[in-house]
Amino acid sequence: MRSQIVAGVTEEIPPTGAVPAYRPDWVPVRGHHLWRCGVHFDVVRMPGPYGRAVAARLRELVAPGDAGAVVYEEKGGGWTYFLLPPNSADDYTWPADVERLSGPRTIAYVGVPALPGAGNTWPLSWCSPPTRVAPFVEPEVLLDVLLDGRLSPPAPPAGTGAGRRSRRP
């Protein structure tokens, strides 16, 4: 399989003439890669079943396959990471149960898996891979899902400080 780069995006060119898979340059060919939040994308994350429920609701509200980039963590906290357009997370006031990993006083890294079918990416997987139409989650749509009242955020464990978010400068 050959590759070509068009406008910073690598497209795999299958020999059969099928439609090439869309792969932004920040998505690795194999395995997974850590990227600093705020460079290629901004990130907000939610814990465990709540994050998965938000991702499922997001997928229901948009055209099939166009929810934007959402990554699951299969180990540890079971976080769900919503990849937003670069420099967009600070433009919104996120609910307390959402942790913003991007911002001027935040240094965080998020793992990004290869596209489905590209081999082992454990412990990361795509809930919704980036597409040409929706390379990122639209912050307004995600915020609508969070504020529509259909999903209940988890209660933070007592005494852990979980659920708090950093103050804006």
Strand order in the sheet with 80-84: 99-100, 42-46, 80-84, 70-73, 124-128
Q: Give ∠ CA 137-142-146 in degrees, rounded to 5.
A: 155
Q: How many domains does the chain have?
A: 1
**0.85 cut: is pTM over it?**
no
Q: What is the pLDDT of residue 17?
A: 42
In a domain, 115, yes or no: yes
Identify the three-state secondary structure at position 53.
helix
Q: What is the pLDDT of residue 164?
A: 41
Q: What is the pLDDT of residue 157?
A: 56
In a domain, 113, yes or no: yes
In a domain, 21, yes or no: no
Q: What is the pLDDT of residue 104?
A: 76
Q: What is the pLDDT of residue 99?
A: 94
In a domain, 165, yes or no: no
> Exposure string (b/e) for 132-165, b if CB count within 10 Å is 16 or more?
eebbbbbbeebbebbeeeebebeeeeeeeeebee
Residue numbers in the chain where pLDDT is lower than 50:
1-2, 4, 6-7, 9-19, 160-169
In a domain, 153, yes or no: no
In a domain, 20, yes or no: no
Q: What is the pLDDT of residue 156?
A: 61
Q: 142 and 58 in contact (C-beta within 8 Å)? A: yes
Which pair of tokens denotes residue 30? 């194999």
In a domain, 77, yes or no: yes
Q: What is the pLDDT of residue 6?
A: 43
Print the domain residue range for 42. 28-147
Q: What share of the chain is helix, strand, coil (3-state, %, to 5)?
A: 15, 25, 60
In a domain, 49, yes or no: yes
